[in-house]
Structures are given as structure tokens and as C-alpha cells.
């Protein structure tokens, strides 16, 4: 009984965490959309509008590493750390640190924000609902289909953001520029690994008649894909 109670508390916490993360990313997406509708190609105020919410909600994803470490979810803590690390480098080491229009007022920033926020809105809402045993086939389909476009789009935005920061990193210290270049060089193999993994998961979950049930079970186990 005590175990069931503990499990229920953990599950309730995960529902709350995923729901809060969804709300945060939805806010970033809505505010970005509104800004673009209001200002068009003038991106000079975009970071002022969504920068801090973006940084905060992405930083919250660091908890996913903790979730994996303490066994709240069945995920590899190392794999989660790699995924979270690259984004934290972008929001703190690039966006927050370099107050430059090439970094904070660029189309690459728009591309990155849109790719991230759409991906995470779908992912977190899917996880939260699955934990509540609410299965929405359309959401499951989006979860395992949008990555075809959003993964390459997000990576392109991230790489362009780092590239824009390189001259300013070099001014601080040549090793900082080298550090950014080393991180950029690691993107292709990581993208390939994640992309092919998601393709396999898509075939497994959407490829047969038991797609919805399998998808719900995968989400309930909270594997970070």
C-alpha cells in the first residue's frame, strides 16, 4: 500500500511537471507568434518579449535529468543530460550572455524558438495526458511525426545561433570560440542518433494496429525520446 501511495505521488508530480512545462512552452510559442504578427520582420524586440520565459522554461527541463537519476522515469540520465545540455548552452551560454542583434534578433532565433516550442508543447501534453490515461490518437501521431521537420529545423537554428556568437566568444577568449566550435561539431552524430531512434520508435508505435496502446504505455513510462 505504501508503495502504491508513493507511486501515486510520483505520478501526480510528473503530471504537474509536464502540465507546467506545456504551459510554459505554449506561452513562449503564443508570445512569439503575437510578436511576429505585430512587428513582422523587425526582430529587435523579440528577445525582450520571450527571452526570459524561454530561458526559464528550458532551464526547468534540467529536472528531467534528476527524474532519470532517481528513477522517476525510465530514461537514461546520460542521454537526457546530453539533450538538455545543448539547449542550456544555447539559452544561457549564447542568448543570455551575448546581447548582440546577430544573436538575439535573428531569423535563426525564430526558427529555434518555433521548433523547440512546438516540439515541447506536443511532447509535454502527450506525456501529461498519457499519465492520466487519456489517449488522443492525433496527438500521438504528431508526437512521432513532427520530428521529421522540427528536429532538423531546431538543429539548424541552434547551429546558426552558435555561429553568430563565435566572433564575440573569440573576443572573450580564443578557447571559448573553440569550445563553441567543438559543440557544433558534435551536432551531426547526435542528430543522426536521435533522428534514427525516433524513426524506429515511430515504426514501432504507429506501424501496427496496437499503435495507440503502445504509445500510451511508452508515454506512461516517460521515456524521453
pLDDT at 4: 58
**Burial letters 70-90, b for 16+ CB under 10 A, else e:** eebbebebebbbebbebbbbb
Catalytic choice (151, 168, 187, 195): 151
Q: pLDDT by residue (tens digit) across 64-119?
A: 999 999 999 888 888 888 889 999 999 999 999 999 999 999 999 999 999 999 99
Q: Is 195 a catalytic residue?
A: no
Domain-wise residue ranges, the chain: 2-220
Q: Is 158 a catalytic residue?
A: yes
Q: Whole-model pTM?
A: 0.88
Amino acid at each position: 500500500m505504501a508503495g502504491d501511495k508513493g507511486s501515486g505521488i510520483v505520478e501526480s508530480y510528473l503530471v504537474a511537471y509536464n502540465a507546467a512545462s506545456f504551459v510554459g512552452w505554449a506561452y513562449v510559442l503564443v508570445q512569439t507568434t503575437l510578436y511576429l504578427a505585430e512587428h513582422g520582420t523587425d526582430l529587435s524586440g523579440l528577445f525582450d518579449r520571450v527571452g526570459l520565459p524561454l530561458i526559464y522554461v528550458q532551464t526547468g527541463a534540467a529536472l528531467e535529468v534528476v527524474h532519470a537519476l532517481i528513477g522517476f522515469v525510465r530514461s537514461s540520465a546520460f542521454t537526457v543530460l546530453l539533450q538538455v545540455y545543448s539547449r542550456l548552452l544555447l539559452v544561457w551560454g549564447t542568448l543570455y550572455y551575448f546581447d548582440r542583434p546577430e544573436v538575439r534578433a535573428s531569423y535563426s532565433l525564430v526558427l529555434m524558438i518555433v521548433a523547440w516550442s512546438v516540439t515541447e508543447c506536443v511532447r509535454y501534453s502527450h506525456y501529461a495526458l498519457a499519465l492520466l490515461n487519456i489517449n488522443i490518437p492525433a496527438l500521438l501521431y504528431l508526437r512521432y511525426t513532427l520530428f521529421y521537420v522540427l528536429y532538423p529545423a531546431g538543429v539548424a537554428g541552434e547551429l546558426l545561433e552558435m555561429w553568430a556568437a563565435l566572433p564575440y566568444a573569440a573576443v572573450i577568449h580564443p578557447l571559448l570560440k573553440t569550445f563553441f566550435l567543438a559543440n557544433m561539431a558534435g551536432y551531426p552524430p547526435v542528430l543522426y542518433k536521435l533522428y534514427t531512434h525516433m524513426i524506429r520508435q515511430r515504426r514501432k508505435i504507429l506501424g501496427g494496429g496496437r499503435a495507440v496502446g503502445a504509445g500510451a504505455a511508452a508515454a506512461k513510462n516517460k521515456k524521453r525520446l
